[in-house]
A and B are shown apart, each in its own frame.
Chain A
């Protein structure tokens, strides 16, 4: 029988792209460098090669200037860890014109590889259309904070669940959506059923939830080719759910470095 140390080697022996991580600000509102350093150090220890990071505003409706400042912090982290940290540009779709200009800046000038949206609007809200169309034009993926949170009281009234992704995917079949953290808390069965039949919706497995059968159910519904590795601050849980699921070694490796997403990473590396 394989020892656990042997089992863990899948992370060391294969390229691992972590599609969901963050850098954050410190108490003074600057990039939290010690935290970013710890993130990269932990990733190296665990055998992760690339960290796709963003810095979203998780409460309220931020003005474009805040988004720009936060994207600059992500860029600072990219410069500090070239080839390891890749950037996702965070925008508030409510400021459509400014958001589109910011996406252009981040992608064309700073080498970001996609867009990160948070819970300011459902992904299916018409307010998000301009941003989705800009992402189609630039051929970049959209990673949207997601979950079907059944706990009460409702803490995030505009968090997107699978049904919102399905609507957006139907309207924009040429866009590539990433449903964030299927293990991020919430009714994943609900969202998996809703997005299963939309080939332009991918997902990452990050988050602190590691219910037995979560990954198997995800792959049964989505197919392994639409599933990506991610952690979102939960390394142990995310590594554990991939190691513990009953997929083949080849399927696990396919999730650790989703080939379909490789071209976005390569584009970022060239900058």
Chain B
């Protein structure tokens, strides 16, 4: 069983991407035997009103409701974001919130960002913050030059103590080490994906040490990145079968409240 917590549907403005509609995305999942994927809307990241993207993706995944779960993209610096959040969770049935402070004009230390994270905690849904969507070294000249600021992130988790967070697509081993003390005092937990953590050198071991297998999850970045890289890691990571199950689906199932 595999649950992929980091997938996207929609258009990426800065290079051509493939398999970014729900139907072809699910075909790729079949090829890699991924049972379920969490997806969010790339369009929503770039639309001024993210709700247009959230509504689109909700419609797009309807035929695949047993395979695809949508997270909402909320910009807490835009009018009526609280109403958007409530609509996404209560009416559209979205299972989590994506925050992109490097694409939208706010910092994680600001009041509205903290409020959004706390609302997610109260609603019992996780907040997912990718370190970046693509590596900034290859960014288009009109794309952002920023990534997740670790200090701001640690401040956010401190200020939203009951909320579960997911951090993906970055040096999550380093972030887990930096956030460990703060996270250990929280009721909510931070989950880290392995997308950019190497298993052939000490990086993965350091993530295991900082986060433990209970807080490590599987994410691919599909369709922006080759999936095989993550499967190489599953093949070679030095963990027990039980730990691997936690990483590939058990922790995600808990976060998504799946039976």
A contacts, CB < 8 Å to B: 1, 4-5, 7-8, 38, 42, 45-46, 147-152, 185-189, 208-214, 233-237, 239-241, 243-245
Contact = CB atoms under 8 A, between A and B. Distances in A.
Contacts of B223: 212
Contact of B226 (A5, A148, A210, A234): A210
Contact of A7 (B15, B19, B140, B228): B228
B236 A46 contact: yes
Interface of B: 15-19, 31-32, 134-141, 145, 196, 198-201, 223-236
B137 A237 contact: no
Contacts of A185: 135, 137-138
Given A149-B137, A211-B225, 20 more contacts: A4-B32, A4-B228, A4-B235, A42-B200, A45-B200, A150-B137, A150-B138, A150-B141, A151-B137, A151-B145, A152-B145, A186-B137, A209-B137, A209-B138, A211-B224, A212-B18, A214-B226, A239-B228, A240-B231, A244-B229
Give chain B's interface secondary structure class: loop
Contact of A213 (B18, B199, B227, B233): B18
B214 to A, nearest CB: 22
Contacts of B140: 150
B225 A45 contact: no
22 contacts: A4-B228, A4-B234, A185-B135, A187-B138, A208-B135, A209-B138, A211-B15, A211-B225, A212-B19, A212-B223, A212-B224, A212-B225, A212-B226, A214-B226, A235-B200, A236-B233, A236-B236, A237-B229, A241-B229, A243-B226, A243-B228, A243-B232
A269 B35 CA distance: 48
A5 to B, nearest CB: 7
A104 B198 CA distance: 37
Contact of B139 (A7, A150, A243): A150
B227 A234 contact: no
A38 B236 CA distance: 14
Nearest to A8: B235
Nearest to A231: B200
A114 to B, nearest CB: 24
A42 B78 CA distance: 49
A5 B224 contact: no
Contacts of B229: 210, 236-237, 239-241, 244
5 nearest A-B residue pairs (beta carbon): A240-B229, A244-B226, A244-B228, A185-B137, A240-B228
Nearest to B19: A212
A16 to B, nearest CB: 14
A151 to B, nearest CB: 4
B74 to A, nearest CB: 27
Contact of A4 (B139, B198, B200, B231): B231
A208 B256 CA distance: 30
B208 to A, nearest CB: 15
Nearest to A188: B138
